Amino acid sequence: MAVAQGLTAKPLSPSLLAWRRFRRHRLAMVSGVVLLLIGLFVFVPSLLTNFDQNQRDTAAVRYDGPSWAHPFGTDDLKADVLARVLQGGQVSLKVGMAVALISVVIGALIGAIAGYRGGWIDSAMMRVTDLFLAIPLLVILIVLTRLPERHDWAETVLGSKGSIRLIVTLLALFFWMQTARIVRGVILSLKEKEFVEAARALGASDTRILLRHLLPNCVGPIVVNLTLSIAAAIITESALSFLGFGVQSATQATWGNLLSAAKGQLESHPHMVLAPGIAIVLTVLCVNYLGDGLRDALDPKQQRTRA
């Protein structure tokens, strides 16, 4: 058949190509599955345990190590550690995803406008982000968590002391900057390309150019940033809780405050440290692998010739 002779294959759509490239990343695929499982168990804890996070099992021993009834042991109040880890995971994951989503959306919009429009918007954004990059993030967050204690307006705007809403708001308030800078960079590099000129010559408005031509090209970096933000948000929330400045609640666990409570028990009851810690590491690891796979899949200029 003359067809086969020397003709190149039919080109595939970009999304199909991206999916194919993603599929090659076995590790990313596995991570995706693991994350789904984690999500499943965390939000439907009854699959793994019958206990509620605050339920005290009078039949058990305090601070017991892992056993059949309690796969991760018990804590000082005879509650099931596994239950606490799973339900704590709900908070950590929700915080992670909420922060990431909000900050990426805000960041992408601001970054796109700043990059495209330039001028004072751009300078302002760059100066503001420069300013806040000068102060360590953890320090800023720690300071700001104290704000609602002392000022009522802060309590209404940001959330009350020790609440989940406060943490989400504060983290999102500072996470958008990274996405904004990246998107701005991409927009800047694309702004001068011919296809933008062509669109303008056809009479497209600025908004249309931004939304239909430029932002879609940023999808790759934005998605990657999304995954990285989830990982960073989970870790930051845990870090804050570890130091005692995060979500403060007697009843609601988060991975961070579980670790914080457990650090005094390292010598005597290490299982209390390992359980939330491993949960964090596993989740963040999978998110990172997923992000890496997505980055490879979505970057249209990637070429890899394997030796």
By CB under 8 A, name the binding residues for another protein.
2, 4-8, 130-131, 133-136, 138-139, 142-144, 146-147, 149-151, 231, 235, 238-239, 242-243, 259, 263, 266-267, 270, 273-274, 277, 280-281, 284-285, 288-289, 292, 304-307
- In angstroms, what is the minimal distance from the CB of 27 to another protein? 8
Burial track 33-60 (b if 16+ CB lie within 10 A, e otherwise): ebbeebeebbeebeebbebebeeebeeb
- In angstroms, what is the minimal distance from the CB of 201 to another protein? 27
Nearer to another protein, 51 or 283 (CB): 283
Q: Residue 75 half-sphere exposure, CB side, CA atoms within 13 Å?
A: 25
Those residues whose C-beta lies under 8 Å from the C-beta of residue 30, and which sit 6 or more positions away, are 289
CA distance 190 to 143: 39
Give the SS3 label for residue 79. Answer: strand
* 8 A C-beta contact, residue 236 and residue 245: no
- In angstroms, what is the minimal distance from the CB of 6 to another protein? 4
- In angstroms, what is the minimal distance from the CB of 239 to another protein? 6
- In angstroms, what is the minimal distance from the CB of 97 to another protein? 17
Q: Looking at the chain, how many residues does it have?
A: 307
Phi, psi of 280 (to 5 degrees): -60, -50
- In angstroms, what is the minimal distance from the CB of 253 to another protein? 16
Nearer to another protein, 7 or 59 (CB): 7
Nearer to another protein, 92 or 179 (CB): 92
In order of 201, 211, 213, 217, 267, the CA distances from 204 in angstroms are: 7, 11, 10, 17, 66
- In angstroms, what is the minimal distance from the CB of 191 to another protein? 21
Nearer to another protein, 193 or 263 (CB): 263
Give residue for tokens 């403060």: 248
Nearer to another protein, 60 or 283 (CB): 283
Angle between helix axes 164-191 and 81-117 (nearest 10 degrees) is 40
Nearer to another protein, 44 or 138 (CB): 138
Give residue for tokens 């390309």: 193
- In angstroms, what is the minimal distance from the CB of 8 to another protein? 5
Nearer to another protein, 23 or 263 (CB): 263
Phi, psi of 56 (to 5 degrees): -100, 125
Those residues whose C-beta lies under 8 Å from the C-beta of residue 296, and which sit 6 or more positions away, are 21, 22, 25, 28, 302
Nearer to another protein, 29 or 273 (CB): 273
